[in-house]
Amino acid sequence: MEHKAKMTPKDFFLWVAATVALYVSAVSLLALLFEYIDVVFADPLRSYQFSGPIRFAMASLIIIFPLYIYLTRKLNQDIRVNPEKKDIGIRKWLLFLTLFIAGITIVIDLIVLINTFLGGQELTTAFLLKVLSVLVVIGGIFFYYLKDLKGKWEREPQMSKNIGWLVSAVVLLSIVGGFFIIGSPQTQRLLRIDQEKVNDLSSIQHQITSFYQQKERLPRDLDELSDPLVGFILPTDPQTDENYGYSVKGTLTFELCAEFNKESSEKETRAIRTPFGKVVDSNWAHGVGEVCFERTIDPDKFPPLKLLR
C-alpha cells in the first residue's frame, strides 16, 4: 500500500511563504518593467515621479526574490527526499491557485489589448511593451507551474535549475538597470537634500511675497522674515546650516540663491509643495553648484493688503 504523506505545519507555512514570495516578486518585477518603459517612452502629457516606485520595486525584489528562490529549492529538495510530499494538499491547492491567477491575468491582458485595438485607440509602443511584459512574466509562471504539476522538473531537475538561473539573471539585470535611472543611494540622498532646498526656497519666496503685501516693500535681508507670531522660522541650508542667498534687485525684484549637489529634472521640479500643503507650478530647475532664482512680484496679483481694505 502506497504511503501517503501527511501535511505538517512546516509544510503549510513553507508552501504559503513560497507562494506569497512568488506573487510579490512577479508584481514587483512587472512594476519595475513598467517604470522602465515609462522612462524610455515617456508621455509628454504626464508628469512622472520615477525614483519612488522604482526604489520600492527594487527593494522588494532584492529581499523577496532571493527568499522565493531559497524556499522553492528547499521545497524541491524535500520532495526529492520524500517523493510522497508532492501529493500533499497544500502543494496542489497553491499550484492550482497560481495557475488560475496566472491564467486569469493572461486572459485579462489579452482582452485589454484587443479592446484597445477595437476601440480605435492608438497602440503605442509603451502600451504594447507593457502587454508583452505581462504575457512573458505571467506566461512564464503559468508554463513553469503547469509543468511542475505534471512532474517535468522531477524528471529534469537540471532544466529546472537552468530556468532558475535564467530568471535570476533577468531579475538581477532589472535591479541593476534601476541604479542607472535613479542613481546610487548616495545620489538619491543628494537629490533629496536638493529637493529640501527647493522646498525651503519656495517657502521663503512665499514669505517674501506676504511681507511685500504687508509692508509695501521687499525685506532688506531674510532675517526680517522671521515672525514668531505667525510661526515662520527662517529655514537654513540643511548641509551648511547657513542662510540662503538673498539680494534685492529692484523695487519688486529679488533673488534667492542656493548651492545644489545635482542637476535637477524639469519634471521633478515642476510641482512644489507650499507650507499650506498645496501643490503649485513653479520653475526651480537648477544645475550643479550655486544657482540663483530671480523673481519679480506682480502687484496686480499680489496687491498690498491696505489696498484691499
Task: Please identify which residue in the block is written with the cell numbers 506573487.
Answer: 23
**pLDDT for res 269:** 45
Of residues 81, 84, 78, 68, the one with CA closest to residue 145: 68
**pLDDT for res 272:** 43
Give the separation between CA 142 and CA 99, rounded to whole angstroms: 6
Give the separation between CA 88 and CA 108, rounded to whole angstroms: 31
**pLDDT for res 278:** 38
Of residues 9, 152, 153, the one with CA closest to residue 88: 9
Give the separation between CA 276 and CA 160, rounded to whole angstroms: 56
Non-local CB neighbours of 223 within 8 Å, separated by 6+ positions: 234, 243
**Where do runs of H (alpha helix) occur along the chain?**
9-40, 51-81, 89-118, 125-149, 152-155, 157-182, 185-215, 266-269, 305-308
Of residues 139, 150, 177, 151, the one with CA closest to residue 26: 139
Give the separation between CA 180 and CA 176, rounded to whole angstroms: 7
**pLDDT for res 13:** 93
**pLDDT for res 172:** 93
Give the separation between CA 51 and CA 265, rounded to whole angstroms: 12
CB 36 within 8 A of CB 68: no
Q: Is 127 exposed, middle or buried (0-12, 13-18, 19+ CB in 10 A)?
A: middle
pLDDT per residue as tens, the chain (309 positions):
455 667 888 889 999 999 999 999 999 999 999 988 888 887 654 545 556 788 889 999 999 999 999 999 898 888 888 888 888 889 989 999 999 999 999 999 899 888 887 877 777 888 899 999 999 999 999 999 999 888 887 888 888 889 989 999 999 999 988 887 776 777 778 888 898 999 999 999 998 998 888 888 898 888 888 876 666 788 889 988 889 999 998 889 999 999 999 887 654 444 444 443 333 345 788 888 899 999 999 888 888 876 555
**pLDDT for res 265:** 66
This prediction's pTM:
0.68
**pLDDT for res 60:** 92
Q: What is the DSSP string of 7-59?
A: PPHHHHHHHHHHHHHHHHHHHHHHHHHHHHHHHHT--TTS----HHHHHHHHH
What distance lies between CA 9 and its chain's CA centroid?
36
